[in-house]
Amino acid sequence: MSESKSAPHPHLPGGTGTGPAGGAALTPTTPARDPAAEAAALAALEAQEARLAEVDLLAPAAPPAPAAPAVPAAPASGVPAPVAPQISGGTKMAPLGKPLARPPVVAFDKVTKTYGTGRSAFTAIKDVSFAIEDYPGRGEFVSILGPSGCGKSTVIRLIAGLLPQFPQTSGSVLVDGKPIRGPGPDRGMVFQDYTSFDNRSVLENIAFGLECRGVPAAERLDRARSWIAKVGLSIKKDADKYPHELSGGMRQRVAIARTLILEPRIILMDEPFGALDPPTRTRMQDNLVELWREQSPTIFFITHSIEEAVFLGDHILLFSNSPGTVLKTIRVPPPDRPSIEMQRDPKFQAVVSEIRDTIDKLESSNRAGD
């Protein structure tokens, strides 16, 4: 689990940039062409950071400094200076420490994607900048929230390296400080549409990635079998079923297992629970949190549901409508209880309402500006 992994990582010297989107970490990624442009980029980042602080929901409505101690510290956290006070006590998730002195896991810098040219040109996202830092021992859970058609999928597909969103028209997208060349198993993806290979059984679907890597049949099927259980399916009953015999929730469980078995560093989820009924959805959320704790990848999770975003995320990227851009970056406490329980908590609901108000305010001011 996360504690064991967290120890050996070096931390950022001097304790700079406790929040994400640390300007210092991003600057080297901008090719030093035009000093003026570089300065502008920096200014934009700083502005973003300032806004970030403004909507820091970590300590909602709490008295200034001594608020945090009211909450018992995370039981087994070897990580110094928890950034995120919990909504309530008893967390299982290690709080984020200081980001590592490494390039961010994912860094967008003034990324714009335009399709077509001239009059028919359409800009899906414009000047999107954010950075998701590399934290010791555990990846961040980033919820991407925004109206339909605001370019959320464009962001995720750019990270995945999938055409035609990839490559961006301008700006830089860096994963671990390196530009993306195309899709790869280090960035797993779970789509909203059901993508189980219809000609393969559940077991063969989950083993697909290992099969591509050349893992021998017996071994990969064994490992796939253990993943069937991990995502809450029955080894006995479901292993040999074909996708057409599965419900939507089961298909998404297969898709999650198929992605996680490869232990990707980044997992991209494009509204994976969007088509599921509410009870299935909350169960899937709990399952996802459990798996996230075990593997600690960095997860990008697109959703329309504010509740889902707040429950799952450490971090919410709030997108505006077309052309899509990051309106705000909001920090929220990580999940510490099952979804249903947590969503009943008045404090949780307060956070959700606050974000809803923020969205309403931003949208109305956006419309006024049109």
Partner 1 sequence: MASTSEPAVPRPPPWWRTLRADPPVEIRVAIGAGLVAFIVMIWWLMTRGDAITAVISPSKLPSPGAVVRSIGSLGDHLAEGIFATLERVLLGVVLAAIVGVVLGVFAGTNRAIGSAVAPLVIFLRSIPMGALLPLMLMLFATGEKQKVMFIFFAIVPFVFSDTVKAVSLVPERYVETAQTLGASNRQILGKVLVPLALPDIVTSLRFQFGLALGYVMLAEAIATTSGLGVMLNNNERLGNIEQNYALLFIIALLAFGIDFVIRFFQRGVFQWRRDL
Instruction: Point out which residues bind partner 1 (CB under 8 A).
Output: 160, 162, 182-185, 187-189, 191, 193, 195, 197-199, 208-209, 211-213, 242-244, 255, 258-259, 262, 268
Q: Is 32 or 199 the residue whose CB approaches partner 1 more closely? A: 199
Q: Is 193 or 277 the residue whose CB approaches partner 1 more closely? A: 193
CA distance 303 to 248: 17
Q: Is 9 or 230 the residue whose CB approaches partner 1 more closely? A: 230
CB of 271 to partner 1, least distance (A): 13
CB of 186 to partner 1, least distance (A): 8
CB of 189 to partner 1, least distance (A): 4
111 beta partners: 128
Helix (H) or strand (E) holding 304: none
Q: Is 186 or 357 the residue whose CB approaches partner 1 more closely? A: 186
190 beta partners: 269
Q: Tokens at residue 125, please? A: 């996202």
CB of 2 to partner 1, least distance (A): 25
Q: Say how many Å lie between the first and final Cα of the chain, rounded.
A: 49
* Residues near 11 by beta carbon (within 8 Å), at least 6 away in sequence: 80, 97, 98, 99, 100, 101, 136
Q: Tokens at residue 368, please? A: 């006024």
| 170-175 sheet: strands from edge to edge | 122-132, 106-115, 170-175, 178-179
Give which of 241, 167, 153 is closest to 203, Cα–Cα: 241
Runs of H (alpha helix) within the chain:
2-6, 23-26, 35-54, 152-160, 202-206, 208-213, 217-230, 235-238, 248-260, 278-295, 306-312, 339-344, 346-369
Q: Is 90 or 115 the residue whose CB approaches partner 1 more closely? A: 115
CB of 169 to partner 1, least distance (A): 20
Q: Is 56 or 208 the residue whose CB approaches partner 1 more closely? A: 208
CB of 98 to partner 1, least distance (A): 31
CB of 191 to partner 1, least distance (A): 6
Longest CA–CA separation in the chain, Å:
63
Q: Is 115 or 197 the residue whose CB approaches partner 1 more closely? A: 197
